[in-house]
Amino acid sequence: MTDFTYTILIPLVPLAVFIFVGLTGHKMKPIVSGLIGTAGLAFAAVLAYITAFNYFWIGHTAGTGYTSIKAFEISWLHLTEHLTIKLGSLIDPISVMMLVVITTVSLMVHIYSIGYMKGERGYHRFFAFLSLFSFSMLGLVLATNIFQMYIFWELVGVSSFLLIGFYYEKPSAVAASKKAFIVTRFADLGFLIGILMLSFNTNTFDFQTLVSPTGPAITQAGGAAFMGLSVLSWSLIFIFMGGAGKSAMFPLHIWLPDAMEGPTPVSALIHAATMVVAGVYLVARLFPVYALGAPDALHVVAWVGGISSLFAAVIACTQTDIKRVLAYSTMSQIGYMMLALGVSGFGGHEGLGFMASNFHLFTHAMFKALLFLGAGAVIHAVHSNDMSGMGNLRKYLPVTHATFLIACITIAGIPPLSGFFSKDEILVAAFEGNKALFFIEYAVAGLTAFYMFRLYYSIFWGKETHYHHTPHEAPLVMTIPLMILAFGSIFAGFLPFHNLVTSDGLPFETPTEWSIAIPSVLIALLGIGVATFMYRKVTGVPDKIAGAFSHLYKWSYHKFYMDEVYLFVTKKVIFNLISRPVAWFDRHVVDGTMNGIAGITQFASVKIKGFQSGRVQQYAFVFVTGAIALVLIFVYLW
Amino acid sequence: MTGTIPLMYFLVISTLMFFIGIYGFLTRRNLITMLMSIELILNSVNINFVAFNKYLYPQHLSGHFFSLIVIAVAAAEAAVAIAIIINIYRNFKSIDVDKVDQMRY
């Protein structure tokens, strides 16, 4: 076995960069801080590639499957004899895959940001936060135990909060960052409850022990039941709640569209490619427990994923802010991944969904980062997010146009680009697992193709628009990452994922199911065709259709009023029925007790303060009287 | 000669001096007079020390030494007290204790 101790450097280098740039960045030229951040990430990326190469090809003997290796571990907090919190790095197929995804996308985003953020105030702050995020995310995927994961999970949330609120002078950005933090924090409450329930029943935080098929989590799965589900199922559902919050699954998705207030490279890195898939990673990490111990919890995962993907795809069709379209598309694609995990079984061909989910995670990271960075280049050129103010940009932005088109084709699932392969595996898994979800996903595939090409045509084709100044192509430092990611989007589909990342570590065969693949491609082509018909040239067709389905259109345009529902629940229900009584209790009972004690003391001291008259002889008299009284008591009464 | 005067006489004298001192301390308004009353109290204690030492433990000298210490302390205390009284006089233009009642609530 190869020694993987060096993997701890992968998160530690960005941490060092964060501390260094964060503390000394304001003293250096902005470009220097950007270069330091990029260099740190490049180092981490190289290490990640070496790790992947060593793990998948060098240290592996054919036919034995991939095992998980605990490369490094220290006791961080030794609380009691039975409760120790450890930190370390765990190397197994999904963590290695995530290392590659995170460092690649993060490196691309770093390079891109050097150009995109040029001239912004707080340039070094931006790079420091990016490094902090990379550190947290890498620590999260390398976690050896669920508590370490929770720590980094929160760190990821904090860095997301900091980066969404990067333009902290803009009230909408501040509101969005708070919303993202509070919603995900609320979901993390469920995660924490789940961790505590799971660890209480199994006496361990350690992933290797938890997921072992002979371990306490799975063998003791029966146990006590509550409302028809075992304790294990409940704890896993709670853990999934944390994952759903981070991954913006319905109904905890409301923060993701607003998170687009952050700078576009941040959206690409955090809210498209890496952080939002943390929930998928969490479920994948605990997958054997879900699959073998608590299939009920897995059904919840599948349905939440399926509903989210449909819900988000419908909303994405009517939004006009290009980043919001991409945000809902992200939510929809993550729904796909969750669904694939949810319908999957464990081991061999049964574990197809597991493999498909990770495959899609990988390809999605490439093309979604590409889409966001392309959108960033467009925004950079026209200084607006609103696609109704765009059109006919293809001649001004040739590189962006080409890469964006590649990404759109990829996400639509047209062979032989990578999105086709991963989406096809998911559809096959859904077909074998759950027919209802399978048809939902067919519909979503069509919608995805439609709204992506609606976006594409609205930006790059359509009407000639007048801009403040002639739009210009982004500088090389921004277009090179686009090209690299486009390359990844095209060819990532040829990676032999079914040999590398499987639920039990053993390779299996995945023949292409043409009976499923061909209809899905046809549906995607149909979606593209409709979008072409409606949006390639300026026509009245979109408005007519919107008028014909005016109710559906309105609901979709207003995101099914989810924000309003949340506002109603928080402002009207929670504030009035819970917060108000609690505040009353605090003000009157808790504070009242304290104020009462203080009041009594004050009252007593006012009453007796006359004793301190300033007259020495009065004091002496009292003293002598007391002394004599004591003498009399001691002499005569004792 | 000591054999002819019983211990009780000394105790009566010292008690009288003690209470005269207390009375003076509590009733006189002049700070100097109050200081003198304190000296009376201290001296009554000295008499007690010496008398008890002489009558009860003639072979020891502790009582004598203790009264010597008291005399020394009394001298120091008188010096400090008079310095304080002078300062009070400078501030209040009076050494009447009733007028010096600013140290109150």
Chain B: nearest CA to A620, how far in angstroms? 7
Both structure tokens of B9? 């006489």
pLDDT of residue A224: 61
Q: A353 or A391: whose pLDDT is higher? A: A353
Mean pLDDT on A405-427: 85
Contacts of A265 (CB under 8 A, 6+ apart): A109, A112, A113, A116, A117, A130, A372, A373, A376
Q: Is the pLDDT of residue B71 over 90?
A: yes
Both structure tokens of A636? 């005569």
Q: Which amino acid is at A16?
A: A
Closest chain A residue to the Cα of B99, Cα to Cα:
A615
Pick the range with the lowest mean pLDDT from A167-181, A306-320, A470-484, A531-545.
A531-545
Chain B: nearest CA to A614, how far in angstroms? 4
pLDDT of residue B19: 93
pLDDT of residue B12: 94
Is the CB of B97 less than 8 angstroms away from the CB of A610? no
Mean pLDDT on A436-451: 87
**Band (A388; pLDDT cuts 50, 70, 90):** confident
Q: CA-CA distance, A293 to A287, in Å (whole number)?
A: 10
Q: Is the pLDDT of residue A222 over 80?
A: no
- For B105, which of A612, A615, A616 is closest by C-beta distance? A612
pLDDT of residue A64: 65
- For B101, which of A610, A615, A624 is closest by C-beta distance? A615
Write down the mean pLDDT value for chain A. 84
Q: A224 or A631: whose pLDDT is higher? A: A631
Q: Is the pLDDT of residue A26 over 60?
A: yes
Distances (CA, A) of A21 to A111, A130, A133, A370, B7: 16, 11, 13, 27, 91
Q: Does an H or E element contain A385, and which?
A: none
Chain B CB within 8 Å of residue A621 CB: yes
Pick the range with the lowest mean pLDDT from A238-252, A342-356, A475-489, A600-614.
A342-356
Chain B CB within 8 Å of residue A610 CB: yes
Q: Reduced to 3 states, what is the DSSP secondary structure of residue A226?
A: strand
Residues within 8 A of A (CB atoms), B 27-46 only? 27, 34
How many other C-beta atoms can be found within 10 angstroms of the C-beta atom of residue A361?
A: 27
DSSP letters spanning A392-433: -GGGT-HHHHHHHHHHHHHHHT-TTSHHHHHHHHHHHHHHHH
Both structure tokens of B51? 């008398």
Is the CB of A617 less than 8 angstroms away from the CB of B26? yes
| Residues in B touching A624 (Cβ below 8 Å) | 22, 26
Chain A CB within 8 Å of residue B97 CB: yes
DSSP letters spanning A269-325: IIIIISGGGHHHHHHHHTHHIIIII-HHHHHHHHHHHHHHHHHHHHHHTT--BHHHH
- For B104, which of A612, A621, A624 is closest by C-beta distance? A612
Q: CA-CA distance, A489 to A493, in Å (whole number)?
A: 8
pLDDT of residue B40: 94
CATH placement of domain B7-92: 1.10.287.3510
pLDDT of residue A592: 92
Closest chain A residue to the Cα of B28, Cα to Cα:
A617
Both structure tokens of A165? 């609120």
Q: What are the pLDDT digits (tens) for A95-133?
A: 888 888 899 999 999 998 888 888 788 888 888 898 999
Closest chain B residue to the Cα of A624, Cα to Cα:
B22
pLDDT of residue A72: 80
Q: Are A130 and A109 contacting, i.e. CB atoms less than 8 angstroms apart?
A: yes
Q: Is the pLDDT of residue A3 over 90?
A: no
Q: CA-CA distance, A632 to A148, in Å (whole number)?
A: 72
Location of structure tokens 């799971």 = A198
Is the CB of B105 less than 8 angstroms away from the CB of A610? yes
HEC letters along chain B: CCCCCCHHHHHHHHHHHHHHHHHHHHHCCEHHHHHHHHHHHHHHHHHHHHHHHHHHCCCCCHHHHHHHHHHHHHHHHHHHHHHHHHHHHHHHCCCEHHHCCCCCC
Chain B CB within 8 Å of residue A605 CB: no
pLDDT of residue A426: 86
Q: Are strands A84-91 and A225-226 parallel, antiparallel or unpaired?
A: unpaired
Compute φ and ψ for A143, nearest 5 degrees: -55, 135
- For A620, which of B25, B101, B105 is closest by C-beta distance? B25
Q: CA-CA distance, A253 to A512, in Å (whole number)?
A: 33
Q: Is the pLDDT of residue A600 over 90?
A: yes
Q: Is the pLDDT of residue A440 over 90?
A: no
Is the CB of A616 less than 8 angstroms away from the CB of B22? no
Q: What are the pLDDT digits (tens) for A324-374?
A: 888 888 898 898 888 888 888 777 777 788 888 888 888 888 888 898 888
Q: Is the pLDDT of residue A558 over 60?
A: yes
Both structure tokens of A99? 């290392």
Q: A573 or B7: whose pLDDT is higher? A: B7
Mean pLDDT on A35-61: 85
Chain B: nearest CA to A593, how far in angstroms? 28
Is the CB of B102 less than 8 angstroms away from the CB of A614? yes
Chain A CB within 8 Å of residue B25 CB: yes
| Residues in B touching A605 (Cβ below 8 Å) | none
Mean pLDDT on A315-329: 86
Distances (CA, A) of A376 to A117, A269, A304, A309: 11, 12, 30, 24
pLDDT of residue A532: 83
Calculate what percentage of chain A has a pLDDT beyond 70: 95
Which of A68-77, A397-406, A587-596, B93-102 has the highest average model confidence (pLDDT)?
A587-596
Q: CA-CA distance, A116 to B16, in Å (whole number)?
A: 101
pLDDT of residue A2: 65
Is the CB of A624 less than 8 angstroms away from the CB of B102? no
Q: Are A141 and A102 contacting, i.e. CB atoms less than 8 angstroms apart?
A: yes
**Whether the predicted interface score ipTM is above 0.90:** no
Residue pairs spanning A and B at CB distance below 8 A: 26
**Band (B87; pLDDT cuts 50, 70, 90):** very high
Q: CA-CA distance, A385 to A260, in Å (whole number)?
A: 10
Chain B: nearest CA to A612, how far in angstroms? 5
Chain A CB within 8 Å of residue B81 CB: no
